[in-house]
Amino acid sequence: MSQVGETVVEIASNDFIIEKVHQVELSKDDNNDLVTDNEIPVWLTKDLIKDALCKHLKDNAIVVKDLKVYHLGGKGESFASKMYRVSTYYYSENAENIQFISCILKTLPQSNMALEKLGVNHYNVQNKEMIFYERIIPKLEEILKTIEEDEKTFPTVMAVYYELDLIVLGDLTEKNFLLANRLKGLDMNHIKMTLRCLARMHAASVILHERDEKIFEIYDCGFYTTKTDAFNDMFLTCLESFTDEVASWKEWEDYEYYHQKLKTMQKYVIKNGRNAFNFDRNDFNALNHGDLWTTNIMFQYNSCGFPIQALLIDFQYSFYGSAVLDLHYLLYSSLPDKLRLENLEELIQFYYYEIKSFLERLDYDMTKFLSLHSFQIQVQKRSFYAFSACMLSFPVHTTEKDEDANFESLMGRDNRSMAFKRRIYQNSRFKQIAMDFLPIFDRRGILDLN
């Protein structure tokens, strides 16, 4: 029986590059990213995969053949989890045919710092995500079924194991879902498809919250929060590194002006971030994805290479709060430079009309829905998060391959961590973005918040 694995190729669609992952026949020597036997976690066994398949297929007569286990996610792509792709052949004793399946196993990261900062005493990311996949997604999907909304919003959940901090998901690449290139960002077709998908999730969550106001109680904090200071050093050290880098841009006539503004901001960045995330029941609130950028969206393509569907993945940082926070993070972290500079208002308007349409179809009381003008006021009210996404998160997301692109380097203040942050702010592309957007944020008054 042949071995099945993965390879990566690139195809172009209107100058937009996507990474296409597909299954190919592997020779015995082609073992890229294959996990060796002594690296496989003790809990990752054939019995585990059999149990997940039995639950998913509702068939207790599943027999699993040998497993192939692969590392998933490169440097700079996942800071808050450890993931594996597991492929195998299986059959049911109730049927004769042997079938291939690939699944994604997601568990906690392996570093002590990540386990501490992301654990139950701080963000509690894995427990929140396990509950999201097991309990929240089915309720959201049931709501969307009432309007015969055929487009999927979420991946297939095969099984959740709380005792292992483990989520087993269907492998979306088997259905030709692919990740966009995080370094290039999302073109207009991709971003509008993503915004429609986000509006669908937000709208369903609004209806679900109306039915049960306690349903999202555990989803009570985003990146900036008073509930933990676990990420404060990341934001502070990124801003410090950015400030120092601006001081070196002596060819820019405004460098001294913005260096001083950023230096002053360092005293207030955490306070301003928390203010942007403060819950206001009078705002338009929804269940936010919480970490919505390029690598947490997958796209399905037709035979011509055009996107036909988007799915949202990775819900570790989901929270219930102002819906505009997801918009700020997505639009300022995941767009090509030209779209970010020229099309933001158009895209915010596009999202507004998409969610308005979904809520109307879901029989929401539209007298409670806000006008576009009021929605834009809420966008501006929380616009410090736009600055944070653009100036603090975007450079991290677009880090080229770097051996220090890990959780410790993001959070740390040691020499190696600070050297990593200096490198990401020395990116020539980011330099131009900063020169374009610092004046915009300044005119909005964001650089003067205290």
Per-residue pLDDT tens digits for 191-203: 999 999 999 999 9
104 located within any domain: no
24 located within any domain: no
pTM, full prediction: 0.90
**Around Cβ 210, how many Cβ atoms within 10 Å?**
13
The rounded distance, in Å, linking the Cα atoms of 353 and 144 is: 17
354 located within any domain: yes
270 located within any domain: yes
Residue 250, Cβ density class (10 Å: 0-12 exposed, 13-18 middle, ≥19 buried) = exposed
The alpha carbon torsion through 254, 255, 257, 258 (nearest 10 deg) reads 110
How many structural domains are present in the chain? 1
Q: For tokens 């973005």, name the residue.
A: 433
Q: Which domain holds residue 203?
A: 133-156+182-448
Which residue, 271, 214, 279, 228, is CA-closest to 123?
Answer: 228
429 located within any domain: yes
The rounded distance, in Å, linking the Cα atoms of 418 and 433 is: 21
Residue 311, Cβ density class (10 Å: 0-12 exposed, 13-18 middle, ≥19 buried) = buried
| Domain at 150, CATH number | 3.90.1200
238 located within any domain: yes
pLDDT of residue 18: 35
pLDDT of residue 55: 96
The alpha carbon torsion through 374, 271, 222, 212 (nearest 10 deg) reads -60
Percent of the residues in the chain that have a pLDDT greater than 70, as a whole number: 91
98 located within any domain: no
pLDDT of residue 267: 96
- Length of the chain, in residues: 450
Mean pLDDT by 10 residues, the chain (450 residues): 31 36 30 82 96 96 94 65 93 89 90 78 89 97 92 94 96 93 94 98 98 97 94 96 97 97 97 97 97 96 91 96 98 96 97 98 97 98 98 92 84 93 93 97 95
Cα separations (Å) of 392 from 49, 233, 381, 442? 39, 12, 19, 16
398 located within any domain: yes
pLDDT of residue 28: 31
DSSP state of 366: G
- In sequence order, what are the beta bridge partners of 311? 298
Q: What is the phi/psi pair of residue 8, to 5°?
A: -125, 130
The residues near 212 (Cβ < 8 Å, ≥ 6 apart) are none
In 210-346, DSSP assigns E strands to: 285-288, 297-301, 307-312, 319-322
At CB < 8 A and 24+ separation, what contacts does 120-124 make? 121/228, 122/227, 122/228, 122/230, 123/221, 123/228, 123/230, 123/231, 123/316, 123/317, 124/218
pLDDT of residue 366: 97
